Amino acid sequence: MATQSIHRHTVSHVELESELGGRLVDTGSAIFEVAKYVVPIAILLTLAHSLLATITFVDGPSMQPTYYTEDMILVDRRDWLTFARGDVVVLRYPGDPEHRVYIKRVVAEPGDTVAVVGGQVVVNGSIPSEPYLNPGTLTQPDVAQKTLADDEYYTLGDNRPVSNDSRFFGPVERRFIVGRVIATLLPSDRPS
């Protein structure tokens, strides 16, 4: 019985050798050769994804006309980033029981005073230019004036009538901001 097993192994080894033109291929070492390059690259990509950048998809109309549902976006996740008015960020609202990810625009930074009055956002006593909004967009409801803490940002969707944002959830602490949107990788089909 043991001789049959050895014989079968020898026959298959010889057949493999003759099929490859007389060369013996050690499949174990070939796999190792590939793995020694693939594994470190996979580890680096995983680290880069978790520490530097991530890809996500837009879900919902709250950022139209800037971003549409199914747009694939690249998000810079570096922890030391600060954000400025006008930046589009991906964030989590602490009060959301489903822990969803949202995409919103920063309209006020730490230390700013912000309010919504008569359909207009007012930051530090002035109405900022918001060229990304559809003409005639009103920001409602009115929100009382608030001065943001050193780690708070006020974020709103570009499609204000349908956006759940800081008007309803309040300012967002820096620790809940995942990162800044830096590119649209695959835009979805746009309305004509």
Number of other CB atoms surrounding residue 67 within 10 Å: 24
Whether the model clears a pTM of 0.85, i.e. scores above it, the answer is no
Whether residues 67 and 36 fall in one domain: no
Whether residues 93 and 169 fall in one domain: yes
Whether residues 74 and 125 fall in one domain: yes
Contacts of 187 (CB under 8 A, 6+ apart): 68, 71, 72
Whether residues 44 and 128 fall in one domain: no
The C-alpha angle with vertex 53 and arms to 51 and 57, in degrees rounded to 5, equals: 130
Q: pLDDT: is 28 or 13 the higher one?
A: 28
Q: Tell me what pLDDT residue 47 has.
A: 61
Q: What integer best gives the mean pLDDT of the chain?
A: 84
Whether residues 7 and 96 fall in one domain: no
- Do the domain assignments include residue 134? yes
Domain that holds residue 133: 53-186
Whether residues 105 and 139 fall in one domain: yes
Whether residues 31 and 61 fall in one domain: no
Q: Tell me what pLDDT residue 68 has.
A: 95
Helix (H) / strand (E) containing 146: strand 143-147
Whether residues 30 and 125 fall in one domain: no
- Do the domain assignments include residue 13? yes
Number of structural domains, the chain?
2
* pLDDT band per the 50, 70, 90 thresholds, residue 5: very low
Whether residues 98 and 57 fall in one domain: yes
Point out which residues pair with 183 in neighbouring strands. 74
- Do the domain assignments include residue 132? yes
Span 93-145, pLDDT tens digits: 877 888 889 999 999 999 999 999 999 999 999 999 999 999 999 999 999 99
The C-alpha angle with vertex 96 and arms to 94 and 100, in degrees rounded to 5, equals: 100
Span 152-167, pLDDT tens digits: 999 999 999 999 999 9
Whether residues 30 and 64 fall in one domain: no
Percent of the chain with pLDDT over 70: 79
CATH of the domain at 120: 2.10.109.10
- Do the domain assignments include residue 192? no
Whether residues 77 and 152 fall in one domain: yes
